[in-house]
Structure 1
Amino acid sequence: MFDPTDLYELAEDLPELTDPVLLYHFDGFVDAGAAGRLALRHVLDELEHRVVATFDVDRLLDYRSRRPVMVFDTDRWTEVETPELVVHSVKDVTGTPFLLMTGPEPDSSWERFIEAVGTLADRFGVSKMVTAHGIPMAVPHTRPLGITMHASRPELMNSAHASTFGRVQVPGSVAALMEFRLGARGRDAIGFAVHVPHYLAQAEYPTAAVTALEAVTSSTGLVFPLDGLREAARRTTVEIEEQINASAELSSAISGLEQQYDAFAGGAERENLIAESTPMPTGDELAAQFERFLAERDDD
């Protein structure tokens, strides 16, 4: 019989943790504005951490669908970006320890991977599992970003992030299946889907990452250093405004989105603000203009 612990290797000298939160995000599924990826990358950049568990990516990834980047220099191969799926032990601003899992979403063996995560959660005494990502919505960047929250049991929900969705069918993800499977076994799991303006979905949008981490703080009490991320969000907003002010077409489109958003927020009948093709404005036209703008930006 398969032993799920064979999928990962524990580090030596593991820390003693007391009911830690497990914060996680996997690259590869929908993440508008790179909300989840930016948020967790910022946490690792800013806080003290070390690896406590490493998954065997050779068993989990399809290299032909996600070929690792290699560097060829003159007459030889000199570098390769080896994918890693790891669990870190991290301390927040107040010194509270928690776990953070990042890496590519597994291409195969989802059920076995989730079993393995469950054994890790048992090993470390995880109290709550939390994930966050971005979803494209027909909302303007000039309004506060909304959040759709979901959880493994109703008592974990926050009324401030109540869902406006009904019953829908969507493509599955490891993060969603993990919440479903482990939640069914009694483990507390929470997810936050940040509403990202659909015309910014393909760009890195730090404001969405700030919103995601603030939601995590509200549900877990973990405190993150956000000054740098907020400054990045401010700079991005300035660049977006410059582009809009230079285009009458964009200005008109954003104004239309603002009216639509305000009507929805005021109680006008509409089930949700999922991005869709509408006469005013079309998401494809907005996105195309912003993609041209973003392509001209410096890497910073």
Structure 2
Amino acid sequence: MRDPHELYEVSDDLPELGKPVLIQALTGFVDAGNATRLAREHLAATLEGQLVATFDVDQLIDYRSRRPPMIFIEDRWHSYEDPRLELRAFTDAGGVPFLLLTGPEPDGQWERFVAAVIALIDRLGVRLTVGLNSIPMAVPHTRPAGVTAHATRRELIVGHEPWLQRVQVPGSAGHLLEFRLGQQGRDALGFAAHVPHYVAQAEYPAAAELLLSSVSTSTGLLLPSDALRAAAEEVRSDIDQQVAGTAEAATLVQALEEQYDAFTRGRTGSNLLASQSGPLPTADELGAELERFLAEQNRGENPGG
């Protein structure tokens, strides 16, 4: 492996961090309901951050598979949105510093990238790493959003019951980071918010709020979530209206409610993990209707956006 330290540069003026928590919220893996994106954007918008380290994306990103957008105006190139993979320091509502790792998930050199992040964890005295994720599930929007918690030690996620037994999923750089930290006897955990599979392609702020509240509960950080809670109530109202206007949709949601209630009572039987396409044709149809509805609502609120 090439030297992982050559993958990043650390800022000259580092803040006083103590023993911070590092929240990992990379882009590129499954992000149902855009929950991880909403969570990290909310933190960046509501808290003042300071750059700590930047990664050399030219070594990590395949531009042909994820081409950065460029703006062309009349007869010239106006701008280029260069991808940034960086580590920033923030301070929570109680004045406690924490770190946030954001940017595109590396397309290659995962082991080297993970080694680089672990080197930064050592250098910055990180005590705990927390990963954010969201997955589509066969659950109704009318029930409280659930979360799957995982960790390198069971003691880190006391109070969280497992939703899944054994499942094989595609790997991700963030999950590999947690796995390697566990192999080294370090503390790391992660949360995957459950998003109703029929709105997995739309924005679902309830899942983003759940991710941040889960981090707060497990780490003691006081992370803001009021704006996400308000947005979640609006989205819930929009979905309720759409479902109420379609008998087929109402029937499907009722069936999901019955399945969800039975599952939570016994925590056995059906696996609620769902693919993006959904296991039921009616769920696909409902999902398409709801996604179109929410997209129209967004266009109405952001004309020309």
- The interval holding the TM-score normalised by the smaller chain is over 0.9
Indicate the SS of the match to 1:296. Answer: helix
User: Which residue is 2:59 aligned to?
Assistant: 59
Tell me how far apart the structure 2 counterparts of residues 69 and 162 of structure 1 sit (CA, whole Å). Answer: 42
Tell me how far apart the structure 1 counterparts of residues 34 and 224 of structure 2 sit (CA, whole Å). Answer: 19
Alpha-carbon deviations, 1:157-192, whole Å to 9, x = none?
223x22132222211000110000122112210001
Tell me how far apart the structure 2 counterparts of residues 167 and 239 of structure 1 sit (CA, whole Å). Answer: 35
User: Which residue is 2:177 aligned to?
Assistant: 178
TM-score, normalised to structure 1, is 0.95
Residues 245 and 114 of structure 1, relative CA distance in 2, 3 Å threshold: same
User: Which residue is 2:240 aligned to?
Assistant: 241
Counterpart amino acid of 1:195?
H
User: Which residue is 2:80 aligned to?
Assistant: 80
Indicate the SS of the match to 1:93. Answer: coil
State whether residues 51 and 86 of structure 2, in contact with CA within 8 Å, keep that contact through their aligned partners in structure 1.
Answer: yes
Tell me how far apart the structure 2 counterparts of residues 268 and 77 of structure 1 sit (CA, whole Å). Answer: 56
User: Which residue is 1:252 aligned to?
Assistant: 251
State whether residues 204 and 232 of structure 2, in contact with CA within 8 Å, keep that contact through their aligned partners in structure 1.
Answer: yes
Percent identical among aligned pairs is 55
Tell me how far apart the structure 2 counterparts of residues 28 and 283 of structure 1 sit (CA, whole Å). Answer: 25
Q: CA deviation at 1:65?
A: 0.3
Considering only aligned residues, what root-mean-square deviation do their CA atoms show, in Å? Answer: 1.5
Counterpart amino acid of 1:284?
D
Q: CA deviation at 1:116?
A: 0.3
User: Which residue is 2:131 aligned to?
Assistant: 131
Tell me how far apart the structure 2 counterparts of residues 31 and 158 of structure 1 sit (CA, whole Å). Answer: 25
User: Which residue is 2:155 aligned to?
Assistant: 155
Tell me how far apart the structure 2 counterparts of residues 209 and 42 of structure 1 sit (CA, whole Å). Answer: 9
Worse overlay, 130-139 or 261-270: 261-270
Q: CA deviation at 1:272?
A: 2.7
State whether residues 164 and 271 of structure 1, in contact with CA within 8 Å, keep that contact through their aligned partners in structure 2.
Answer: no
State whether residues 149 and 193 of structure 1, in contact with CA within 8 Å, keep that contact through their aligned partners in structure 2.
Answer: yes
Tell me how far apart the structure 1 counterparts of residues 52 and 27 of structure 2 sit (CA, whole Å). Answer: 20
Residues 86 and 135 of structure 1, relative CA distance in 2, 3 Å threshold: same
Residues 142 and 173 of structure 1, relative CA distance in 2, 3 Å threshold: same
Alpha-carbon deviations, 1:94-146, whole Å to 9, x = none?
11001000000000000000000011000100000001111111100110111
Counterpart amino acid of 1:52?
V
Q: CA deviation at 1:278?
A: 5.0
Tell me how far apart the structure 1 counterparts of residues 208 and 31 of structure 2 sit (CA, whole Å). Answer: 10
State whether residues 137 and 273 of structure 1, in contact with CA within 8 Å, keep that contact through their aligned partners in structure 2.
Answer: yes
Indicate the SS of the match to 1:194. Answer: strand
Indicate the SS of the match to 2:285. Answer: helix
State whether residues 49 and 90 of structure 1, in contact with CA within 8 Å, keep that contact through their aligned partners in structure 2.
Answer: yes
State whether residues 83 and 104 of structure 1, in contact with CA within 8 Å, keep that contact through their aligned partners in structure 2.
Answer: yes
Q: CA deviation at 1:269?
A: 4.3
**Count of residue pairs brought into register by the alignment:** 298
Indicate the SS of the match to 1:266. Answer: helix
Tell me how far apart the structure 2 counterparts of residues 176 and 78 of structure 1 sit (CA, whole Å). Answer: 37
Tell me how far apart the structure 1 counterparts of residues 146 and 46 of structure 2 sit (CA, whole Å). Answer: 25
Worse overlay, 186-195 or 104-113: 186-195
Tell me how far apart the structure 2 counterparts of residues 240 and 119 of structure 1 sit (CA, whole Å). Answer: 45
Q: CA deviation at 1:247?
A: 1.5
User: Which residue is 2:274 aligned to?
Assistant: 275
State whether residues 149 and 158 of structure 1, in contact with CA within 8 Å, keep that contact through their aligned partners in structure 2.
Answer: no
Tell me how far apart the structure 1 counterparts of residues 34 and 214 of structure 2 sit (CA, whole Å). Answer: 16
Counterpart amino acid of 1:164?
W
Tell me how far apart the structure 2 counterparts of residues 162 and 124 of structure 1 sit (CA, whole Å). Answer: 32
Indicate the SS of the match to 2:266. Answer: coil
Q: How does 1:219-230 map to 2 (within 5 A)?
A: 219-230=218-229
> Are 2:176 and 1:168 aligned?
no
User: Which residue is 2:104 aligned to?
Assistant: 104
Q: CA deviation at 1:282?
A: 3.5
Q: CA deviation at 1:80?
A: 1.0
Q: CA deviation at 1:292?
A: 2.1
> Are 2:23 and 1:23 aligned?
yes
Tell me how far apart the structure 2 counterparts of residues 212 and 180 of structure 1 sit (CA, whole Å). Answer: 20
Give unmatched runs, 5+ long, in structure 1.
none
Give unmatched runs, 5+ long, in structure 2.
none
State whether residues 238 and 294 of structure 2, in contact with CA within 8 Å, keep that contact through their aligned partners in structure 1.
Answer: no
User: Which residue is 2:214 aligned to?
Assistant: 215
Q: CA deviation at 1:3?
A: 2.0
Worse overlay, 82-91 or 2-11: 2-11
Worse overlay, 43-52 or 265-274: 265-274
